[in-house]
Structures are given as C-alpha cells and as structure tokens.
Structure 1
C-alpha cells in the first residue's frame, strides 16, 4: 500500500529533466554535464557497466547526480532503472552511450574470450540500452539518444576488434535513426578523435556537441557529427 501511495504522489510531481550516461569511463563526462547544465537544474544519471551486477545498485545519490552500477545487457535491471527514474519524477531528455574505448591486447590464446567480452561491453550493450531507451522515449513522446564512437583516423592506434565494434555501433545508430526519426526520437552517432577522460577540453566538447544535437529543431536533425580537437 505504501508503494502505491508513493507512486501516486510521484506521478503528481512536476517532472525534472535528466541526462542518462551509460559506459565504463564516464565519471568525468558526468561532472562536466553537471557543471554545464547546473543553471537548467538537470539531473544526471551516471550508469556504469558492471558485468558482475545482477540488479540495479544505487551507489550514491544527491540533488545533482545519481551514480548507478548495473549489467547493461540485463534487460530486467535496465527496466528497474527506468522505473527508478520515473519514481524520482525525472524525464529523460538526453541519453549518451559510451562504448569501451580501451584497446584489447591481441593474444591468440584468449582471442575468443576477448571478442565475447568486447561484444558484451560494446555491441550487445548498445543494442540493450537502445531498446530500453527508445521504448521510454516513445512513451514520453520525445528524447535524444547519442552513440559515441571512434573516427576512422583512430585506426592507426586502435585494435581491429575495437574498430569493428565501433562500425557495428555506427550501423546500429544509422538504422535506428531511419526508423525512429519519423516517430520523434532523435538518434545520432558522434565520432571522437579519442577517449581521454582526463582531458577536460575533450569532455566539455563532447557534452557541448551532444547538447547541441539534442537542441536541434526536428527539421535539421543530424544523424552523424564529428569532434576534432
């Protein structure tokens, strides 16, 4: 009964906009989002991929940031996260998916295991997150989903496995954009020269570009952009 009253109370609260970031190295980007969006009072969800987590774990929460860890390929856990966001009277304006940029050593002895791990961290996670986020955005009749990825110029210092995963995420983004743009969901792929969370200029540029994409009028929606620093 208490849960029912809580849900009724939350449903009558004025909804606050929020940004949801998924990835394995997104702490710095989360902080930049908080700093840049502070005047808009937008809440930030920092969702860290942890393959060992069997459910949603709220690591910490305050008025600006909710830090969550979960297994991104666990649809039940993602559904629980969406429910938590709704109960907090938050509405998702922007979702950013950061695939793993960490290079994988090419060891013949465990190459199959590397492929499986990279597929889970990037390919399967991207599919899983996009499914749950698009469903949520269709329900609220709007939203922006942005996939981050590497530029072709990264080929010189990124392993072939990572390159193939970036290509897969890019293809997924393009396919979803064609399907869901007519339904009011903005989906885009943002190519980066590299991922360095210690580089605040890069993190700020990523945040600014993602917000620029989100604010584009529907008549000029971009499906693919690039950052050059």
Structure 2
C-alpha cells in the first residue's frame, strides 16, 4: 500500500511523503518514477511525533492529499480471546487507528480549509463495519476511525475538503505478489486458479484513491468498499 500509493502520486507529479515507511522504499520509488519521494519516521499515536513530522512536511509546501493507512501491528490470522487481550495492546491499537488519524487530520485541515481544497482518505477494513470475535482491539479502533471520517466529512466538505473512508475487504497483496502477477502466463494461471483468492492489488487501490482525489465536488464519495472479484462478501 505504501509503495503503490506513493508511486501513484509521484507518477502524477505530486511529491509523495511516505510516513512510517522504510527509507529504502522511498528511494526505490524515487528511482523508478524519477520523482520526489521522501520518507519520514513517525509514531502516529504520539502527538509530538506527528507534530514534528509534519513540521518537516509543511516546509516542502501545501499538503493537498493525506492518506491515513496506519495500523498498530499486522493482523494476526488467529483471533485472540477478549479475556487474553492486554490493556496496552487494546489502547495502542485504538490509538494508532483513531487517535493517530485525529492528530494527522488536525495537521492538514487548517491549510486545506484556507485554500478551499484538499483530500483526506482514511483506510478501513471489514472490521470498520462488523464486530469480529477475537479482534475487538482492531474493531474498536476501526469503528472509531469510521466515525471520525463521517464527522470530518460533514464539517469540512462544505469548506472544499473531500473526506473519504475506504473499506478494504481483503488482504492487500505484497510486492512479491504484484511482481508475480505481472510475470509469466503460468503465474497468471496460478493466480486465476484461486491460489490468491480474495487478495486485493495495492496498485488498484491506489488508483481508486487517485480517482477519489480528482472527483468533481458535486458528486463526492464519502465511503466506498473495495474487494477482489473472487472474495466472499463480509
């Protein structure tokens, strides 16, 4: 997701800022796209870390697009009983999903409102809509993120700022999957046969994000869900 979103932006002439991403990723994208891509390290749950990071970003110019895609940790394939979840794990998950989005949105909204334009995209998942047994820490954070997106849309869209919440219902593919997908005919057959059933292509997600950014303001999308054509609906 980081690579695809940054590549999509830089390919269209927008300097991309990669937050929480390894410096190597930014350097690779910069070489491939021959565009400006910068990497910053930020703890989205820490207001000072976010503030310090955005001070550097603001020095580069107006922030026209914010894509918030932070998660506390990779989602475990095995559910965790509520009785076994530690309080700090629960708090950190909610902090990164929702509090981090709060901090980042506050950093960009002033400039967007002043200019009467801008796009903020929050990335959710099926846990944004449904309580899932064994994933209460994820669901609570994503529920809160969705509520924040709705509140900001109602408050700031009249000021020209597009706020969208994108629900990705599926596992976003890794770079290795994407390289394999664009490889030989045999690879394509393997993928079509169901080996990666339900996997979402990050480049396709990034393309959707771009379309959200350039939408005509008379027909803005506030929420959209994305899934593979082979996925089972939530």
Using the size of structure 1 for normalisation, the TM-score is 0.72
Aligned to 2:138: 162
SS at structure 2 position matched to 1:105 = coil
Ranges in structure 2 where 5+ consecutive residues have no aligned partner:
179-199, 229-234
Aligned to 2:75: 102
CA-based RMSD:
3.1
Aligned to 2:194: none
Q: Does 1:228 align with 2:227?
A: yes
Q: Does 1:30 align with 2:2?
A: yes
Q: Choose which of 57, 62, 80 in structure 2 pairs with 1:91.
A: 62
After superposition, give the CA deviation of every residue in 1:56-112 in whole Å (9 maximum; x if it has no partner).
x9x976653111111223333333333322322x33221111142624733635521
How many residue pairs were aligned? 194
Aligned to 2:20: 48
Ranges in structure 1 where 5+ consecutive residues have no aligned partner:
1-28, 50-56
Query: Which one has the bigger strand percentage?
Result: 1
SS at structure 1 position matched to 2:142 = helix
Q: Does 1:137 align with 2:136?
A: no
Q: Do the aligned residues in 1 keep the contact of 2:170 with 2:227 (CA within 8 Å)?
A: no
Q: Choose which of 26, 29, 39 in structure 2 pairs with 1:67.
A: 39
SS at structure 2 position matched to 1:92 = coil
Q: Does 1:116 align with 2:91?
A: yes
Using the size of structure 2 for normalisation, the TM-score is 0.70
